[in-house]
Amino acid sequence: MQVIKYVFQPHGDERGQLVSLEEFKDIPFQIKRVYFMYDTEKNVVRGKHAHKNLEQILVCIHGSCKILLDNGHEKKVVPLEKPYEGLYVANDMWREMYDFSPDAVLLVFASEVYDESDYIRDYDEFLKFVKERKNGN
């Protein structure tokens, strides 16, 4: 499984740092939704789903967390610890976000607006979906 991490260009001086992100330039898709998570308790696991079509870039803009990516064949854990790094999460990829530091803020850029029918929330259904997509169904 290929993990794609984007390193965004920080611009800084004595006043501090600034990161500017643009769709199709820094983010590889049109941004249709932005949301963030914070005050996540220590033992909470977020996500636990995949999407049929939606793509995401995850940026831990404060603190740290870990992302488990699972393509149905292979799993990888990716730490997010820097506010200028973004993790690309493709559609048909199971994701779980966990091990949030107490101060973590996880920002998400999404390629689609919220659509419950795009979610795959059952892991066995996800495995079936991946198998069918691989076979061209």
pLDDT per residue as tens digits for the range 77-114: 999 999 999 999 999 899 999 999 999 999 999 999 99
Under 8 Å between Cβ of 32 and 22 = no
Among the listed residues 11, 49, 51, 62, the single catalytic one is 49
Q: What is the pLDDT along the chain (137 residues), one digit of tens a residue?
A: 889 999 999 999 999 999 999 999 999 999 999 999 999 998 999 999 999 999 999 999 999 999 999 999 999 999 999 999 999 999 989 999 999 999 999 999 999 999 999 999 999 999 999 998 878 76
Report the distance separating Cα 74 and Cα 79, nearest Å. 17
Under 8 Å between Cβ of 129 and 70 = no
Q: Has 51 been annotated as catalytic?
A: no
Under 8 Å between Cβ of 107 and 97 = no
Give the pTM. 0.92
